[in-house]
Structure 1
Amino acid sequence: MHSVLSGIHLVTFDLDGTLIDSVPDLAVAVDRALDDQGLSPRGESRVHDWVGNGSRKLLERALRDALGEAPSVALHDAAHEAFLHYYAQAPNVRTRLHPGVREALDALRERGMALALVTNKPHAFIAPILDGFGLFDHFGLCLGGDSLPQGKPDPAPLLYAAAHFGVAPRESLMVGDSRHDIEAGRRAGFRTLAVPYGYNHGEPVASSCPDAMVESLAELV
């Protein structure tokens, strides 16, 4: 077992970029929503750097890039609603698990570790995606970006998860791929672990100084 897990009883995971590569499906829905507004597609490479702050922020970034300026509230609302519609139709067609994820989650569950999912993705998409990989039942709690008034990097979702399981923050670990995950974990008093392969707005997550890093989550176990 990796040393970062010493004394840890709760492990909370980010979703997009940490457990799954979801950009291919997200980019399709973003581009279809832009097309509805007569705007040109942005493509996977751009969407890759816009993921991590929830769906509304994702669409705001896509619209700003397509328009060259901030979108109006009406345009933003319309494009976001279209995105949610298109993404709900196919949230798990091109999405893939990152290597080592299944092995890590299986092993942690077998050892009796409490597991939670804390993502800024809308809650409605969590179960369809995890069910598609047979992983929904691994988690005792799943929080989306709309589950609480605050999302990451605010520590509120992590503190909620710790309270839900009755585990002290100092006995909890936040696992993520972005500075928002590391900041949320640090502010909540969690230990932090980062993976370098995800989405962090084009920046190395190591610059956020997590407590530990692994190339694959399989290294945890």
Structure 2
Amino acid sequence: MHSSLQNIRLVAFDLDGTLIDSVPDLAAAVDAMLVERGLPAVGEAKVRDWVGNGSHTLVERALASVLGQTADASVVEASHDSFLRYYHAAPCERTRLFPGVVEALDALASRQMIVTLITNKPVAFIDPILETLGLRHYFSMALGGDSLSEKKPHPAPLLHLAAHFDIDPSQCLMVGDSRHDVEAGKRAGFRTLAVPYGYNHGEPVSSSGPDGVVESLGELV
């Protein structure tokens, strides 16, 4: 057993950038939204640096990039609706699992760990993606960015899970790819584990001070 799992009863995973590489599908929806508004597409590389704070912020960042300034609230809202429409039509066409994910989830299941999901992605997209990738059965509960009044890096979603399963936060582990995951975990009193391959706005996630870093989730086997 990996040292990060010692005395842990509940593991909470981030989704995008931790379990799945969803940027290809997110970028396709962002570009479709921009083109619909008569704006230039931005491409996958830029979107990769904007993911992690929820769909609304993703759209705000895309608009600011092409407009050269912060977009009006009404433009952001209309663009966000457009983005959601395009993403809903194809949320998992090119999205792929990162190496070691299934092996790690199988290992946790065999140890009877409670496995949960906390993502800032809108909740409506969680089940379709998990079902398509064959992951849904691993998770006892999944929270999206709009499931509660607060989202990561606020600790509320993590504390909600700990309370729901009646587990002390000190016996919970937050696994993610960004500083927001690490901050949320620390503020909730969770142990934190980070992966370096995800979406952290160009910064090394190790600089956020997680309790541990693994190159692949396969190390949890």
TM-score, structure 1 length as denominator?
Answer: 0.99
Equivalent residue, structure 1, for 2:56 = 56
CA distance in structure 2 between the aligned counterparts of 1:162 and 1:116, rounded to whole angstroms? 10
Equivalent residue, structure 1, for 2:30 = 30
Equivalent residue, structure 1, for 2:132 = 132
Deviation at 1:165, TM superposition (A): 1.1
CA distance in structure 1 between the aligned counterparts of 2:109 and 2:81, rounded to whole angstroms? 36
Deviation at 1:176, TM superposition (A): 0.1
Q: Does 1:171 align with 2:185?
A: no
Deviation at 1:106, TM superposition (A): 1.1
RMSD: 0.5
Query: Unpaired segments of 5 or more residues in structure 2?
Result: none
Aligned-partner residue type, residue 59 of structure 2: L
What does residue range 116-155 of structure 1 map to in structure 2 within 5 Å? Answer: 116-155=116-155
SS in 2 for 1:58: helix
Q: Which 4+ residue blocks in structure 1 deviate beyond 3 angstroms?
A: none
Deviation at 1:200, TM superposition (A): 0.1
What does residue range 65-104 of structure 1 map to in structure 2 within 5 Å? Answer: 65-104=65-104
CA distance in structure 2 between the aligned counterparts of 1:162 and 1:136, rounded to whole angstroms? 20
Equivalent residue, structure 2, for 1:114 = 114
Aligned-partner residue type, residue 118 of structure 1: I
Deviation at 1:209, TM superposition (A): 0.8
Deviation at 1:121, TM superposition (A): 0.1
CA distance in structure 2 between the aligned counterparts of 1:130 and 1:162, rounded to whole angstroms? 22
Equivalent residue, structure 1, for 2:195 = 195
Structure 2 contact 101–218 (Cα < 8 Å) conserved:
yes
Equivalent residue, structure 2, for 1:12 = 12
Equivalent residue, structure 2, for 1:47 = 47
CA distance in structure 1 between the aligned counterparts of 2:147 and 2:195, rounded to whole angstroms? 25
CA distance in structure 2 between the aligned counterparts of 1:10 and 1:43, rounded to whole angstroms? 37
Structure 2 contact 107–220 (Cα < 8 Å) conserved:
no
CA distance in structure 2 between the aligned counterparts of 1:141 and 1:65, rounded to whole angstroms? 35
SS in 1 for 2:40: coil
Q: Does 1:213 align with 2:187?
A: no
